[in-house]
Structure 1
């Protein structure tokens, strides 16, 4: 008998909490239409039809426009040019170092 009273006293608050929470729709969303909140959500979210059209227009395998292709090629060419100049500068520094080493070896008295 004491066991059933303990179980009932334990379950009673749980049942009451569930009954109260069932009446609450959401604690985070207000029912009042706030003009600021509505304006912000319009800037962030778009209708599903617009979103699907956006992804249909520009899929993963869709062809690039000429401007996109040309811009990508310019970026690649600029990166290659910087890389080439850097390697050329390193080669010049290494050649200067070798010349200084050779000059240092020939200046030594025998």
Structure 2
């Protein structure tokens, strides 16, 4: 036997021996029917008995009326979304108003400068200068 075959055989044998002696291997096996009836740990929080599950679907069918708590919860979610939408629209409007005001001011400044340059260039000295106040 070559040395690589011996090393792989020994590592495989050690792995099988560790798995056989380890107590955790029971959890990897398929549980018996007796163990399946008693859920352990967090499993019992996830699953509900079949009768409770069927009662849930019978209680709240597609066309049945909603309970008051459900209606109030939906209204709270809807109102919160509406408030967020309103705040977003208000922010957008404020940003646009600020932008429009700045653009208007810049346009006024450019117009004033252009008309001032025009007056200075075309001034013939016959009329008194017109000044912006």
TM > 0.5 fold call: yes
Superposition TM-score tier, normalisation by shorter sequence: 0.5 to 0.7
Give me the TM-score of the superposition, normalised by structure 2.
0.49
**Structure 1 residues 29 and 84, CA gap change in structure 2 (3 angstroms):** same
Q: How many residues align?
A: 82
Task: Name stretches of at least 5 consecutive residues in structure 2 with no aligned partner.
Answer: 1-28, 115-133
5+ residue gaps, structure 1: 1-27
**Could you say if the C-alpha distance between residues 74 and 107 of structure 1 is closer, same or farther in structure 2, counting changes exceeding 3 Å?**
same
Q: Which secondary structure does the structure 2 equivalent of 1:63 belong to? A: coil
Superposed displacement of residue 63, structure 1: 1.2
Question: How far does the alpha carbon of each residue in 1:27-57 deviate from its partner, in whole angstroms, 9 at most, with x for none?
Answer: x63548449x833397255554443223212
After superposition, where does 1:87-98 map in structure 2 within 5 Å? 87-98=89-100
Shift of 1:88: 1.2
| Aligned twin of 1:4 | none
The residue aligned with 1:53 is 55
Relative contact order higher in (CA < 8 Å, ≥ 6 apart)? 2
Q: Distance in 2 between matches of 1:48 and 1:32?
A: 17
SS at match of 2:81: helix
Larger Rg computed on CA atoms = 2
Inter-CA distance 80–59: structure 2 relative to 1 (3 Å threshold):
same
Counterpart Cα distance in 2 of 1:63 and 1:32: 40
